[in-house]
């Protein structure tokens, strides 16, 4: 049976797909208004229990296409895996698991577990013992668990092979077949692949029963007259980045795409508070209000329109010179539709895309689908923003020189000058400050690397060059810094991940550094307890950073960060796990002690608390001799077989 997805562009709603109230509520929470073509074509047959063979590029919305039907059939009371998703990389496995978690917000008792190489077996084993309904894993690690007898597939209802051709390219196809042979014959299979090479066709013919065949015909072409750029930024820094672009990038009118209804409203409010003439439209906005807002955009009363994909359909406003993707779209079709709002009728257009570090795969998928490179952009500097602000301020002053009551104000200034003996220039400056109000005229550089400005890395001349052995004589050491505990401006925070979950210092540093865009040298002491950990971070962490870190995943758990209280800080020794193997490669890395000092982590002789430290260090994280300095996180080691 073949299903051409051109028909999927009909007005299908998620409510028409029998997904159930909890899932529909979660979709409404994240602002999904209608299914993408692959979702509209795939969800109905999967809901009916049919096998599916889907051919679609990365970034077409496949994850929701198979995740939503799986969740609709999940029994949260049954604490055994009912669905297994095989993914080629650990990054995709984590991404898919996070999507399941998001769509299952209103399913009490639901648990999803990502399993992949490079992570300790211990947290995976603990989660499997507690019970999960969905497992998302790389083929190698899934096979390992099956061979160990730690993954029970007796209750499996559905198996998904995501990006099958990529698994073939990476040499996992034998593992994929081995997994298929260990699943119950009654299970449903959904296979997705961008291409259909012969080995993938053979697997489909062998293991899929009368599958519904779905082919997504990509119409992802973009105009040559649209310049496409991207800026790599973490979620907590987007507001600063878009403010700089709006202030310093010459544009006529701009449409900004956010992923959710709530996101459009919040962003429009924040931009308005920063002096930008902005408004939001989304699926909750009445048609009459939508038309008024678009007319204001056409008339120049609004310069920035913040919208969801659905709300912006059919929008054609000649003034729109820029499209900014504040949230990256989930599929390449949406990206093409979005940036098509500019560059109309042969005019020149600009498209800007915000990409977080973990979304780089989607950026590459968009480039592949559109067959056009998206160039990195330079964010306007603080100096450029300030120059623009000063120019606009002086223009306002110049316009005010023609004010009809200027003579009255001139008399008042002269009177004030005589009576108070204050120079007129000082009075003018005071009036300018009064007119500016509480909003500073000039943007200031952050004194500390908190949320927006990442500081320049210090020159690390006394560190060995790359490839140089650390045993070689070091250069003249600097004066030792005091231990980290004496540093001012630090605050202790608690995260709900500890030894029992397989947490290591490197995991926590990497997560915080990447997600909060914070130099790891500003991450202080880390104290890992049994079921939680303590970490010192700069005092006064912005609320948006804290909110962003709440849902960050480390060692299969969410951080759920909070300010530590006195009872948290009391010392309670955690059990050593030196006898626990990390994986089949060797002994655990998380608790290795340095030979010369207590608490050393790969430290050298004489170090106390050194983490990759050098001799004499106290609390050093890749520190220098005698210091407690912190350096950037190292890339994680590759995992076993997947």
What CATH number should be reported for the domain holding residue 358?
3.40.50.300
Whether residue 406 sits in one domain with residue 267 = no
Q: Which of 215, 242, 269 is the last residue of a domain?
A: 215
Per-residue pLDDT reduced to its tens digit, 548-586: 787 778 877 888 898 888 777 664 444 433 333 333 333
The answer to whether the beta carbons of residues 582 and 125 sit under 8 Å apart is no
Return the higher-pLDDT residue of 422 and 190: 190
pLDDT for the residue numbered 222: 61
Of how many residues is the chain composed? 642
The answer to whether the beta carbons of residues 72 and 92 sit under 8 Å apart is no
Residue 297 has pLDDT above 50, yes or no: yes
pLDDT for the residue numbered 450: 35
Report the chain's mean pLDDT, rounded to a whole number.
Answer: 76
Residue 143 has pLDDT above 90, yes or no: yes
Burial of 196 (0-12, 13-18, 19+ CB in 10 A): middle
Mean pLDDT along residues 100-120: 90
pLDDT for the residue numbered 523: 86
pLDDT for the residue numbered 9: 43
Q: From CA 614, how far away is CA 605, in angstroms rounded?
A: 8
In a domain, 608, yes or no: yes
Whether residue 133 sits in one domain with residue 173 = yes
Q: Which of 415, 436, 457 is the last residue of a domain?
A: 436
In a domain, 521, yes or no: yes
Q: Which of 395-404, 460-469, 521-530 has the lowest mean pLDDT?
A: 460-469
Whether residue 158 sits in one domain with residue 238 = no
The answer to whether the beta carbons of residues 41 and 6 sit under 8 Å apart is no
pLDDT for the residue numbered 553: 80
Whether residue 278 sits in one domain with residue 356 = yes
pLDDT for the residue numbered 234: 66
Per-residue pLDDT reduced to its tens digit, 145-159: 999 999 999 999 999
Whether residue 155 sits in one domain with residue 46 = yes
Whether residue 388 sits in one domain with residue 326 = no
Whether residue 162 sits in one domain with residue 36 = yes
In a domain, 220, yes or no: no
In a domain, 483, yes or no: yes
Whether residue 239 sits in one domain with residue 101 = no
Return the higher-pLDDT residue of 353 and 531: 353
Whether residue 480 sits in one domain with residue 600 = yes
Mean pLDDT along residues 97-102: 91
Return the axis-axis angle of helices 62-73 and 21-29, rounded to nearest 10°. 150
**Host domain of residue 301:** 226-380
Whether residue 407 sits in one domain with residue 372 = no
Whether residue 168 sits in one domain with residue 93 = yes
Confidence band (pLDDT; 50, 70, 90) for 399? confident
Whether residue 157 sits in one domain with residue 119 = yes
Nearby residues of 97 by Cβ (< 8 Å), 6 or more positions away: 112, 113, 114, 134, 136
Q: Which of 341, 358, 380 is the last residue of a domain?
A: 380
| Domain count along the chain | 4
In a domain, 221, yes or no: no
Q: Which of 229-233, 342-346, 426-430, 628-632 has the lowest mean pLDDT?
A: 628-632
346: left (phi over 0), alpha (psi -120 to 50) or beta: left
pLDDT for the residue numbered 170: 81
Residue 69 has pLDDT above 80, yes or no: yes
Determine the Cα angle at 422 with ends 420 and 423, to 5°: 150
Per-residue pLDDT reduced to its tens digit, 405-425: 888 888 888 888 888 888 888
């Amino acid at each position: 049976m073949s299903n051409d997805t051109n028909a999927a562009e009909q007005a299908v709603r998620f409510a028409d797909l029998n997904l159930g109230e909890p899932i529909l509520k979660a979709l409404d929470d994240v602002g999904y208004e209608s299914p993408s073509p692959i979702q509209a074509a795939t969800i109905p047959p999967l809901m009916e229990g049919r096998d599916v063979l889907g051919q679609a590029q990365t970034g077409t919305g496949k994850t929701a296409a198979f995740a939503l039907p799986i969740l609709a059939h999940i029994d949260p009371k049954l604490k055994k895996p009912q669905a297994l998703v095989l993914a080629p990389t650990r990054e995709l496995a984590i991404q898919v698991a996070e999507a399941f978690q998001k769509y299952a917000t209103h399913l009490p008792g639901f648990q999803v577990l990502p399993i992949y190489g490079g992570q300790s077996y211990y947290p995976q084993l603990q989660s499997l013992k507690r019970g999960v309904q969905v497992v998302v894993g790389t083929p190698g690690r899934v096979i390992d668990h099956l061979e160990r007898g730690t993954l029970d597939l007796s209750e499996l209802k559905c198996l998904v092979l995501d990006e099958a051709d990529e698994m073939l390219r990476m040499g996992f196809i034998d593992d994929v077949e081995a997994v298929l042979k260990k699943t119950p014959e009654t299970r449903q299979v959904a296979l997705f692949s961008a291409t259909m090479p012969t080995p993938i066709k053979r697997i489909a013919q062998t293991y899929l029963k009368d599958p519904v065949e779905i082919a997504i015909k990509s119409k992802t072409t973009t105009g040559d007259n649209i310049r496409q750029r991207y800026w790599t930024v973490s979620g907590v820094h987007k507001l600063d980045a878009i403010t700089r672009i709006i202030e310093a990038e010459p544009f006529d009118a701009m449409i900004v795409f956010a992923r959710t209804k709530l996101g459009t409203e919040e962003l429009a409010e924040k931009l308005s508070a920063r002096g930008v003439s902005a408004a939001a439209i989304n699926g909750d906005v009445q048609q009459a209000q939508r038309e008024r807002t678009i007319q204001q955009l056409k008339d120049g009363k609004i310069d920035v329109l913040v919208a969801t994909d659905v709300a912006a359909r059919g929008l054609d406003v000649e003034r729109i010179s820029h499209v900014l993707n504040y949230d990256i779209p989930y599929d390449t079709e949406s990206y093409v539709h979005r940036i098509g709002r500019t560059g109309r009728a042969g005019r020149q257009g600009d498209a800007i895309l915000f990409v977080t570090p973990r979304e780089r795969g989607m950026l590459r998928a968009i480039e592949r689908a559109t067959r056009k490179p998206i160039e990195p952009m330079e964010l306007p500097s603080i100096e450029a923003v300030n120059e623009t602000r000063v120019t606009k301020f002086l223009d306002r002053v110049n316009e005010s020189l023609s004010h009809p009551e200027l003579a009255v104000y001139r008399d008042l200034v002269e009177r004030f000058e005589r009576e108070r003996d204050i120079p007129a220039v000082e009075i003018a400056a005071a009036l300018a400050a009064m007119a500016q109000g509480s909003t500073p005229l000039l943007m200031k550089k952050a004194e500390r690397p908190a949320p927006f400005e990442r500081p320049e890395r210090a020159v690390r001349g006394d560190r060995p060059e790359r490839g140089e052995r650390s045993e070689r004589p070091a250069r003249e050491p600097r004066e030792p810094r005091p231990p980290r505990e004496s540093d001012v401006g630090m605050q202790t925070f608690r995260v709900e991940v500890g030894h029992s979950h397989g947490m290591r210092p490197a995991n926590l540093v990497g997560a915080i550094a990447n997600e909060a865009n914070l130099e790891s040298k500003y991450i202080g002491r880390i104290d890992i307890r049994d079921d939680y950990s303590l970490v010192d971070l700069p005092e006064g962490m912005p609320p948006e950073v804290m909110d962003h870190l709440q849902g960050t995943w480390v060692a299969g758990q969410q951080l759920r960060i909070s300010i530590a209280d006195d009872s948290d800080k009391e010392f309670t020794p955690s059990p050593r796990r030196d006898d626990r193997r990390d994986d089949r490669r060797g002994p655990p890395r998380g608790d290795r002690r340095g030979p010369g000092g207590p608490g050393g982590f790969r430290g050298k002789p004489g170090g106390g608390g050194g983490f990759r430290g050098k001799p004499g260090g106290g609390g050093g994280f890749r520190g220098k001799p005698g210091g407690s300095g912190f350096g950037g996180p190292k890339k994680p080691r590759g995992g076993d077989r997947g």
